[in-house]
Amino acid sequence: DIMGQFDALKSSLDDHIQGVNRYNPENVTELQQCVAAMASENRYDRDIALTTLKLYQLNPDKYDEATVRTILLKTLTVLPGADFALAKCLIDANRINSPELRLVLNLGSVLESCDFAVFWKLAKGEYTADDKFKSPAEIAKLIKPISGFEEAVRAFACRVISTTFQCIDRTQLVRLLGGVNEAKVTEYSGKFGWETREGGKVLYMANHDSTIKSRNIDERLSFGSVHEVLVHTPVQTVIE
C-alpha cells in the first residue's frame, strides 16, 4: 500500500524521535525512508525534515546529499512558510555549495522572489542558460520525482496573486500559473474567491484599499534587554 508507507513510517518515527532519543543516529535510515515517501506520496512533515538535517550535522558520516536535496525541494512546496530558510540553516557551509544543492538554492531564490514566469520557463525547459542556471534542463529533472511540486507552486502563486493584485488579466494569470486550462482557472477562482469580470477577460481579487490599515508600532526596550546587548558587544563597536 503506497499511500500507507508514509503514515506507517511517520507513526514509528513519532515514537523514536521524542525527548533525548530525538537525535539518535540509529534513526537516520528510517528518517531517510520517510523523506523518500514524502516525495513520492506528496506528503510533508516539517519535524521529520528538520530532524533529518540536524542528525546529518551531528553525524557527518551518515550525510546523504540526495536526501538533503529532497528535503530542500519539499520545503519549497510549503512556501510562504519559513521551512526552506530553516532547512538551509541546518546544512553545513562546506556542503551547501555543492553543484546539486546550489541548483536547488537558485530555484528556491526564484520562488522566494515570486518570479513565477521564470519558474515555469525552467520547469518546461524553455529557459535560456545563463550564469545562474548554466544547465536549466536539470531543473525539470530535479522536480519531477517530487510529487505535486508544480501544483504546490500554483497554490503558492495563487496566494501571492490574491494578496498583491486587485484585478488581473486572465492571460497574465494563466501565464503566472504555468499555462493552466479554463477548468483550473475556474477551480482556483472558486477556492480563492476571485470574480470574473469584463466577459471573463479580467479576474477581480479584492479591493485591498479597504483592508489596508495604518498601524503605530510602539516598541519598548527594557534596561535589561539593552544591558544584555551591551555586555556582549565588543567595546570598539560601542565606541564607533
Asked whether the beta carbons of 100 and 65 are under 8 A apart, the reply is yes
Question: In this model, does residue 117 exceed pLDDT 50?
Answer: yes
| Cell 536539470, located at residue | 138
* pTM of the predicted protein model: 0.83
**pLDDT tens per residue across span 186-209:** 999 999 999 989 887 899 987 655
Lowest mean pLDDT among 27-31, 168-172, 197-201, 227-231: 227-231
Give the closest residue to 101 by CA, choosing from 55, 150, 153, 63: 63
| Residues facing residue 39 across a β-bridge | none
Question: In this model, does residue 238 exceed pLDDT 60?
Answer: no
CA 171 from centre of chain: 26
Mean pLDDT of 113-123: 97
Distance CA 226, CA 143 (A): 46
pLDDT at 204: 93
**pLDDT tens per residue across span 5-63:** 888 888 888 777 777 778 889 999 999 999 999 999 999 999 999 999 999 999 999 99
| Cell 516525495, located at residue | 39
